[in-house]
Each structure stands twice: as C-alpha cells, then as structure tokens.
C-alpha cells in the first residue's frame, strides 16, 4: 500500500532556531501534499497545500514566512518552522495525494520548542 | 465552506459491544466523499471507512459500517464487536470530489474508550 514517511517523528529545538520536517511518498508520486497542525486533543487544521514545482498555498492566518514549504520533487515536501517559539510547539502531520485510498497521511512530527 | 460536527467528545463501550459515533456535516455540494479516520495514541491517521455521496449503499468494512443519510447530512459510524484496539480518537472528515487536490475538512473528533 501507499506509504508516506514523515521525519523526524519527534524534535526538540531551542527558541529562535529553525527546524525542518520532511514528508516523503515512498512508492508513489505526490503532486500535491498537505500540511496539518494538530493541537493537543484537537482536530487537524490545514496549514497549507503544496504543489510540486510551485509555491504553496497557505490557509488564512498561517504565516508563510514562518512556515516555509518546499515541494521540489514529486516525492518530497518539506516544512521548515523558522525562528521557532514555544507557541509553535505542536503536532504536525503531512498528507499526500496518491495511493490506494486517494490520500495517505504521514505518521506526524511532534515539535517541542524550549 | 464545508463544516463537520461531531457532537460526542467522548464515548465508551464495553468490549464486544456495539457503539455508534455521530457525525453531521454541512455542504452545498451534491457530490463529495466522507471518511472516518482513526487516530490511536501513536497519532498515525488510519483510514477506517470511506463513503461516496453518490452511492446510496452504506459502506462496510468488516466490523465497521456507516449510516449515511444524505438528506439529513448525517454520517455515523457503527463499530460492532468492539475490541480493545479500537480505542482511539475518531475523526469524521469531508472532502470535495470536484477539485483536484482538495483537502480534508475534519470534525473535532470523538475519543472512544473500550472497557474490558
């Protein structure tokens, strides 16, 4: 079946630093990937949609300069949290369009900013 | 814009019993997909079941079945013979069928506990 690998699964970074999260489709090409943020005990909120070879589309209220998205190939999208602050601590999940059931989710990344 | 509502923040069921999770949604579209996703403590999103709105027949996957009422915009999930491994957060989700690359709209989730 379709697999989306998300790395790292957990990361702790210092306030003010940047951290990159990778989302990779392992056995299919994903022209479109989505990035979600999930607060504790809350639902998934779409942050942005990334299309291979073009600029990402950000949802209202999401700072595009803070959350940099790059989708340089058909199998890889990255989310970089720049100048991270404690309020950026959250669970981030990617989803790729493709695979058997149409969309496949990564296993998520727990970001803690200290 | 579409919205998805899950009115039960938490539910519990005895092992081997049946439980129904509720979901309602709002949309002006006539064709769309509806989903139930399970998120266990590992946080991995796992597809439980999918329903195409243009299909009248309710989807079924082993112990999981849905009651899809299009006119009422209701999409409930029934879990039969509940198992301890069914304990998780369950999210109801909507997705448009028309737009290429359309994203999901998720409900707030229902936390299901399975009691031994």
- pLDDT value at B55 more than 70: yes
Question: Which among A23, A37, A49 is positioned nearest to A106, based on CA atoms?
Answer: A23
Given a cut of 80, whether residue B44 has pLDDT beyond it is yes
Q: What is the model's pLDDT at position B98?
A: 62
Whether the per-residue pLDDT at A1 is higher than 80: the answer is no
- What per-residue confidence (pLDDT) applies to A30? 87
In this prediction, residue A90 carries a pLDDT of 95
Q: Answer whether B47 touches A (CB < 8 Å).
A: yes
| Beta-bridge partner residues of B110 | B90
pLDDT of B16 reads 97
Half-sphere exposure of B110 (CA within 13 A, CB side): 27
**Subunit contact A107:B44, Cβ cutoff 8 A:** yes
How far is the alpha carbon of B23 from chain A, nearest alpha carbon, in Å?
A: 14
Mutate to test the interface with B, among A103, A106, A107 (most CBs of B within 10 A): A103
Note the pLDDT of residue B56: 86
* Closest CB to B45 among A51, A105, A110: A105
Residue B38's alpha-carbon distances to A67, A98, B47, B75, B110, in angstroms, are 27, 19, 6, 15, 10
**pLDDT per position as a tens digit, B73-112:** 999 999 999 999 999 999 999 998 765 556 789 999 999 9
Chain centroid offset of residue A60 CA: 16
Question: Taking Cα atoms as reference points, which of B8, B35, B13 lies closest to residue B87?
Answer: B13
3-state secondary structure of B108: coil
The average confidence (pLDDT) of chain A is 91
Check residue A97 and give its pLDDT.
Answer: 81
Give me the residues of A, 2-61, that contact B with CB < 8 A. 31-32, 34, 38, 41-46, 49, 51
Q: Per residue in A30-73, pLDDT tens?
A: 888 999 999 888 899 999 999 888 889 999 999 999 999 999 89
């Amino acid at each position: 079946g379709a697999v989306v690998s998300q790395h790292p699964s957990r990361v702790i970074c210092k306030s003010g630093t940047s951290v990159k999260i990778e989302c990779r489709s392992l056995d299919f090409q994903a022209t479109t990937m989505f990035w979600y943020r999930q607060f504790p005990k809350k639902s998934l909120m779409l942050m942005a949609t990334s299309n291979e070879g073009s600029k990402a589309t950000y949802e209202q209220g999401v700072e595009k300069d803070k959350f940099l998205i790059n989708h340089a190939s058909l199998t890889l999208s990255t989310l970089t949290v720049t100048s991270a602050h404690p309020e950026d601590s959250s669970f981030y999940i990617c989803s790729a369009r493709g695979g058997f059931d149409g969309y496949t989710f990564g296993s998520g990344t727990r970001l803690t900013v200290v | 814009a579409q919205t998805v509502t899950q009115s039960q923040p938490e539910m519990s069921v005895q092992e081997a019993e049946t439980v129904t999770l509720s979901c309602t949604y709002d949309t002006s579209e006539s064709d769309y997909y509806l989903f139930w996703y399970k998120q266990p403590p590992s946080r991995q999103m796992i597809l439980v079941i999918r329903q195409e709105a243009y299909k009248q027949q309710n989807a079924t996957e082993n112990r999981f079945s849905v009651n899809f009422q299009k006119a009422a915009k209701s999409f409930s999930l029934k879990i039969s013979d509940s198992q301890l491994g069914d304990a998780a957060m369950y999210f109801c989700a909507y997705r448009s069928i028309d737009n290429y690359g359309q994203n999901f709209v998720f409900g707030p989730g229902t936390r299901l506990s399975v009691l031994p």
